[in-house]
Amino acid sequence: MSEVDLGLSVLAQAGWFAGRRVPIERYLEAIASEGYECTDLVEEFLQECGGLAVGPPASGFAEVIAIDPVTAIETTYKDTVEEYEKVLGTSLVPIGAASSGHLVLMMARDGRFYGGYDAYLAYAGESPAELFGRISSRKLVVIQDDWQ
């Protein structure tokens, strides 16, 4: 099963469905208050996937995944995100967390997803389905891992 197929399954279990739309004003306020750039792609993603969560592992999921920019922004140093931006050469917006809150999930202006934790940075996909699939299968593509 591909990461995208797995991700679609996980998304459905989290309550996602085609055409899902949720209010995102609270998310947009948090993003703006910390000086992050919110693109149309980020807004579209949050409208469709904001508030989705799966896990914990005891329920049969390999990872806990939560799409909540408010919590992601509150628990992530902006300096750390800025370091990731330097490595990637693009702006990022924290959009959620995985790995029991240790891995901040971020979205780039081009719609790609990344995960970071301290000196670790990884690519997590080009779509919500791929993001959820790669996180669930623990198949992130490592970009930087100074812990190695």
Q: What distance in Å separates the CA atoms of residue 34 and residue 51, rounded to the nearest whole number?
A: 20
Residue 115 β-bridge partners? 105, 122
Condensed to tens digits (0 to 9), the pLDDT of residues 112-144 reads: 999 999 888 999 999 999 998 888 888 888 888
Distance from chain centroid for Cα 71: 12
Condensed to tens digits (0 to 9), the pLDDT of residues 6-37 reads: 878 888 888 888 889 999 999 999 999 999 99
Q: What distance in Å separates the CA atoms of residue 54 and residue 9, rounded to the nearest whole number?
A: 11
Q: Report yes or no: 95 and 107 within 8 Å, Cβ to Cβ.
A: yes
- Judge: domain 3-145, CATH 3.40.1580: yes
pLDDT at 61 over 50: no
State what percent of residues in the chain have pLDDT above 90: 51
- Between vectors from CA 111 to CA 75 and to CA 38, what angle results, nearest 5°? 55
The pTM of the full predicted model, rounded to 2 decimals, is 0.90
Name the pLDDT band for 57 (thresholds 50, 70, 90).
low
